[in-house]
């Protein structure tokens, strides 16, 4: 998921949610990195996120959780990628008006930076995998 923070800083926290889910969702890993082009990240920028000190996280339906703070220099309006390895899910919701291209790939890809193997998430007019 590509995000653009509106303020600069030296650490980040990310909130993940299962707001509309009907079943638990399991994440095995989460990372944040600086977007280069497309799904590729700037080499060396991808940092692991943890939740209460753990790499993985299970969210019950309706639940959300903040990551632990991680040292990460952020410039206002910089494009950052929040990458999640999803182990188990039953339904995925998406915003109808995201205003940014996001990407998906099969398998555990969150730790990588090259962007190869990723495809753009189709808009609502396409055949979305979600």
pLDDT, tens digit only, all 130 positions of the chain: 899 999 999 999 999 999 888 899 999 999 999 999 888 999 999 999 999 999 999 999 999 999 999 999 999 999 999 999 999 866 666 656 667 787 778 888 888 877 778 878 876 554 445 4
Task: Based on DSSP, count helices (H) and strands (E) in the chain, helices before strands.
Answer: 0, 11
Q: Is the C-alpha dihedral spanning 5, 26, 112, 108 positive or negative?
A: negative
All structural domains of the chain with their residue ranges: 2-120
Q: Which of these, 91, 100, 114, 111, lies nearest to 41 by C-alpha position? A: 114
User: What distance in Å separates the CA atoms of residue 22 and residue 26, rounded to the nearest whole number?
Assistant: 13
Please give the pLDDT value at position 126.
Answer: 47
């Amino acid at each position: 998921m590509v995000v653009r923070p509106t303020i600069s800083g030296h650490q980040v926290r990310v909130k993940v949610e299962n707001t509309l889910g009907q079943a638990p969702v399991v994440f095995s890993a989460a990372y944040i990195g600086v977007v280069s082009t497309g799904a590729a990240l700037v080499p060396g920028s991808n940092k692991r996120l943890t939740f209460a000190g753990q790499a993985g996280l299970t969210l019950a339906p309706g639940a959300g959780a903040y990551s632990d703070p991680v040292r990460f220099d952020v410039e206002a309006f910089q494009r950052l990628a929040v990458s999640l390895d999803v182990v188990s899910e039953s339904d995925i919701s998406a915003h109808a008006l995201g205003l940014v291209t996001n990407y998906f790939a099969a398998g555990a890809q969150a730790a990588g930076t090259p962007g190869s193997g990723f495809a753009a998430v189709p808009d609502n007019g396409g055949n979305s995998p979600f």
